């Protein structure tokens, strides 16, 4: 890709577990002339990529440094515990931290949850990544607590998950450098917030809606409905009657005849 092509694209980074497909599809429909360059990065590296100018915006996990990054929270994920399918907790619909007191709870170095007290027993060594921790769960070494999207991302047939109550949660946000709020960033904000293409907060349409020539449409006056305004615009005959009303106008010739009496 040449330098000019890079400058004309919108560069978006996203962290594992986040699925930006629906927003990417809308962007491509609205901006076919501005390619969206999509790059997945580790959760801990997303803010650095934005601040270094390697991306225009990012779908990141909170918290971020609000002194240098603007952020719009999008949603908060449910926290789950990943276990082998034959684990005891699979017998319940929801797990409490106390239910894991006898388990080794793996705590990978790329964990995205802000723990004050991790439940269970600590592992001898922290796995480097969530993917490594999932492999250890499958080997029967311990269990893993992650946001639901990461449990789905690393799904295996021999593993399952259950909701974990009273646990930290992870929130996903759209973030961008505070001093680099471009038109493209504003457009992407509108997309993730569900604004239509004609929204006043997005880019304005070429002409006011419903009037391709750009003229302002007159609003109905006091007590005047849209239908009444339409009817009032029609030409009228004598006495103010509408000339088009069947059976109510003056007969041809301008004279009214008397009805005949039947003999």
Question: In this model, does residue 239 exceed pLDDT 50?
Answer: no
The reported pLDDT for the residue numbered 261 is 53
- pLDDT at residue number 147: 98
Give the residue with greater pLDDT, 245 vs 163. 163
**Per residue in 169-208, pLDDT tens?**
999 999 999 999 999 999 999 999 999 887 645 454 433 4
> Residue 145 and residue 148: Cα distance in Å, rounded?
9
**How many Å apart are CA 104 and CA 122, to the nearest integer?**
6
Q: For residue 17, which of 131, 109, 116 has the smallest C-alpha distance?
A: 131
Bigger pLDDT: 17 vs 7? 17
pLDDT tens per residue across span 96-142: 999 999 999 999 999 999 999 999 999 999 999 999 999 999 999 99
Q: What's the pLDDT score for residue 8?
A: 82
- Alpha-carbon Rg of the chain, whole angstroms? 32
- At residue 216, does pLDDT exceed 70? no
Instruction: Give the pLDDT of residue 110.
Output: 97
Per-residue three-class SS string for the chain: CCHHHHHCCEEEEECCCCCCHHHHHHHHHHCCCCCEEEEECCHHHHHHHHHCCCCCEEEEECCCCCCCEEEEEEEECCEEEEEECCCHHHHCCCECHHHHCCCEEECCCCCCCCCCCCCCEECCCCCCCHHHHHHHHHCCCCEEEEEHHHHHHCCCCCEEEEEECCCCCCEEEEEEECCCCCHHHHHHHHHHCCCCCCCCCCCCCCCCCCCCCCCCCCCCCCCCCHHHHHHHCCCECHHHCECCCCCCCCCCCCCCCCCCCCC
> Which pLDDT tens digit goes with each residue over 8-17?
899 999 999 9
Check pLDDT > 50 for residue 85.
Answer: yes
């Amino acid at each position: 890709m040449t330098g000019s092509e890079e400058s004309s694209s919108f560069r978006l980074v996203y962290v594992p577990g986040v699925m930006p497909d629906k927003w990417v599809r809308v962007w491509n429909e609205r901006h076919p002339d501005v390619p969206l360059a999509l790059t997945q990065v580790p959760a801990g590296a997303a803010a650095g990529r934005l601040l270094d100018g390697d991306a225009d915006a990012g779908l990141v996990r909170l918290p971020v440094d609000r002194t240098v990054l603007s952020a719009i929270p999008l949603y908060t994920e449910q926290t789950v515990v990943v276990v082998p399918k034959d684990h005891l907790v699979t017998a319940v619909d929801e797990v409490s931290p106390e239910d894991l007191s006898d388990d080794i709870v793996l705590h990978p170095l790329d964990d995205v949850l802000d723990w004050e007290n991790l439940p269970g027993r600590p592992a001898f060594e922290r796995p480097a990544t969530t993917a490594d921790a999932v492999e250890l769960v499958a080997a029967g070494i311990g269990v893993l607590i992650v946001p639901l999207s990461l449990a789905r991302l690393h799904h295996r047939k021999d593993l399952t998950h259950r909701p974990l109550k009273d646990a930290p949660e992870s929130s996903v946000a759209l973030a961008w450098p505070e001093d680099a709020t471009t038109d493209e960033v504003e457009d992407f904000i509108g997309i993730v917030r569900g604004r239509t293409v004609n929204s006043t907060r997005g880019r304005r349409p070429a002409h006011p809606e419903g009037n391709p020539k750009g003229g302002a449409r007159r609003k109905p006056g006091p007590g005047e409905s849209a239908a009444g305004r339409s009817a009032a615009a029609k030409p009228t005959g004598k006495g103010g009657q509408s000339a088009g009303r069947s059976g109510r106008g003056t007969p041809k010739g301008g004279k009214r005849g008397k009805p005949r009496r039947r003999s």
